[in-house]
Amino acid sequence: MTATAEATPLPMQEPFHPGLLARAVGWFSGGVGLTIKIALLSLSNALGIWAAYTLYQDSHWIALGSVLFATAFIDIVYLLPRKWTAPAKFLVPGTVFLIAFQIIPIIYTINVAFTNYSTGHILSKSSAIATIQANSLQPPPNGQQYEMAPARTASGELVLLLHDDTSGKVYAGTKNGLVPLPASSVRVDSTGVPVMAKGYTLIKGSELFSLDKQLQNYEIPTHGNAAIQPQGFNQAVELEPTLRYDAQTDTFTRISDGKVFRDNGRGSFVAGAEELEPGWKTGVGFHNFSEILRDPLVRTPFISVFIFTIVFATSVVLLSFAIGLFLAIALDKAHMRFQRFYRTTLVIPYAIPGFLSLLVWAGLLNDDFGAVNHLFHIHVPWLFGANMARISVIMVSVWLTVPYFFLVSLATLQSIPNELTEAARVDGGGGWQIFRRVTLPLLLVAVAPLMIASFALNFNNFNNIYLLTGGGPYSGTSSIAGSTDILISYTYKLAIATGKGQDFGLASALSIIIFFIVAAIAGISFWRSKSLETMR
């Protein structure tokens, strides 16, 4: 007798319902995704072609090759289905943004730090020479001024019809000189501008505006070095150069006294203490770095500013962490009433844009009409006394930073296992001993890197200083560095907001020095924080 085993029925499987994200990925993977990909690559290629053309015109060959290579590489990655292109599709966007917003600015800053790039030194040398020559043109004694009208001869040659208001004569000015015209063959309007000349066709309308660049270089020789040059479309004036450039010796000579201006190797033509403007952008080596040490305007207040920068950043981080940790411990109670309300209230300063809070605090702490002095009927120079201004910027910065450390500390406290504190309590540990030997070391393992990052942020916290006190008040020892200036605000004032213009080369050099200072402090702090990990 044969026994027949019945087959066990398979369980019914529910139909698969893809989620919204899966459906969106599938929708973009078809023809729609291909269309979007081609459209984005077309925009990328158009941008690459435009950049390549601009770089080609300026003869930036290295940058041109980099742009062409990057554009071709992006096309290959997204158009050719290969194994190695799959991960590259995800790496390319992040790499592009990393290069654009991190690598290129860093390289550019380093490059500028070794140049004299500043107000008066932004042109190339050839452009600077041309500008100096143009600026040296001055009206000679008894120089004439004319009402002008551009015109053409029968052969199409450009001439300038010039009316001398003093003598009433009208001339046809060419590159060979002035040709008097008979009074019967010309007519001028009420303003003195020629409106008709026999044998000449006046240029009007759109053709007139197309002559802009041609008129800028048009000269009508008169006598000696003097020449008549157009000033716009309706006037011309007789000018002569006060400086003469010699291309062979690369010098300017002042015609009046024979003084020679030579290239000083730092982007200017100089003769003694006298300098011709503008200069040009050129490499100056370590000149900007050495100026920080040599120039008393930079060197003298640097130490005091550096000390306050350390005090400011350290005080803000330590006080904010201490207050934030205290509040986190106080509000880390399971059955505390109004717990959510208290937590929300403490996070409000973190939710409001910092620059708005700083402007509000600047008004509240104002010496004359601030609400703080009026409310407590006191007269404290919160922002106008040297020591009180330092305390004020630290207090306001702590107020802005406490919510951050409160959130970080609260999250870290809740991640510490209760078994550890219970075991320490069973071993006879008191509340302070448990906190000092268990809670705090475990807390610092997670929070110490964030404290170092906060220190680096406050070391360069330009907004908190500049929007609250502007770096002031100023003492009698320095007209640039104020009592509350930190290195970054001092750099801004020194290189951007003071002197005869903006010195981007000096600003970049100071920025590099600040970077190395912060990097050294952060590196030492990270190295020292490793000891916390061994305490776990």
Angstrom distance (rounded) from CA 532 to CA 536: 7
Give residues with Cβ within 8 angstroms of 291, minimum separation 6: 298, 506, 509
Burial category of 382 from C-beta neighbours within 10 Å (exposed 0-12, middle 13-18, buried 19 and up):
buried
**Residue in the block written with tokens 């501008």:** 193
Burial category of 146 from C-beta neighbours within 10 Å (exposed 0-12, middle 13-18, buried 19 and up):
buried
pLDDT of residue 533: 56
Angstrom distance (rounded) from CA 484 to CA 397: 13
Angstrom distance (rounded) from CA 307 to CA 105: 28
Angstrom distance (rounded) from CA 112 to CA 106: 10
Would you tell me which CATH number, out of the four given (1.10.3720.10, 3.20.20.60, 3.40.50.1970, 3.40.50.2300), belongs to the domain 296-533?
1.10.3720.10
pLDDT of residue 1: 46
pLDDT of residue 186: 92
Angstrom distance (rounded) from CA 465 to CA 301: 17
Strands 251-254 and 243-246 come out as antiparallel
State the pTM of this model: 0.77
pLDDT of residue 312: 96
Domain boundaries, the chain: 23-113, 140-241, 296-533
Residue 496 identity (one-letter amino acid): I
Angstrom distance (rounded) from CA 116 to CA 503: 8
String of b and e for 213-240 (b: at least 16 CB within 10 Å)?
eebeebebebeeebbbbbeebeebebbb
Q: Where are the alpha helices (DSSP H) in 417-461?
A: 418-426, 431-434, 440-459
Residues found in the chain: 536
User: How would you write the pLDDT of the chain (536 residues) with one tens digit per residue?
Assistant: 455 555 555 555 555 555 665 566 556 566 777 788 888 889 999 999 999 999 998 888 988 999 999 999 999 988 887 787 888 888 888 898 898 889 999 999 999 999 999 999 999 999 999 999 989 999 888 888 999 999 999 888 999 999 998 888 999 999 899 999 998 899 999 889 999 999 999 998 888 888 888 888 899 998 888 899 998 889 999 999 999 999 999 999 999 899 999 999 999 999 998 999 999 999 999 999 998 888 887 788 888 899 999 999 999 999 999 999 999 988 887 667 787 888 888 888 888 888 899 999 999 999 888 899 988 888 899 998 899 999 999 999 999 999 999 999 998 888 888 888 888 888 887 888 888 888 888 888 889 889 999 999 999 999 999 999 999 888 766 667 889 999 999 989 888 876 667 889 988 998 999 999 988 988 888 787 765 555 55
Angstrom distance (rounded) from CA 469 to CA 473: 7
CATH number of 140-241: 2.40.430
Angstrom distance (rounded) from CA 43 to CA 51: 12
Are 495 and 504 in contact by the 8 Å Cβ rule? The answer is yes
Would you tell me which CATH number, out of the four given (1.10.3470, 1.10.357, 1.20.58, 2.40.128), belongs to the domain 23-113?
1.20.58
pLDDT of residue 528: 74
What does DSSP assign to residue 372? H
Angstrom distance (rounded) from CA 343 to CA 328: 9
Which residues, in sequence order, are bridge partners of residue 163?
Answer: 147, 170
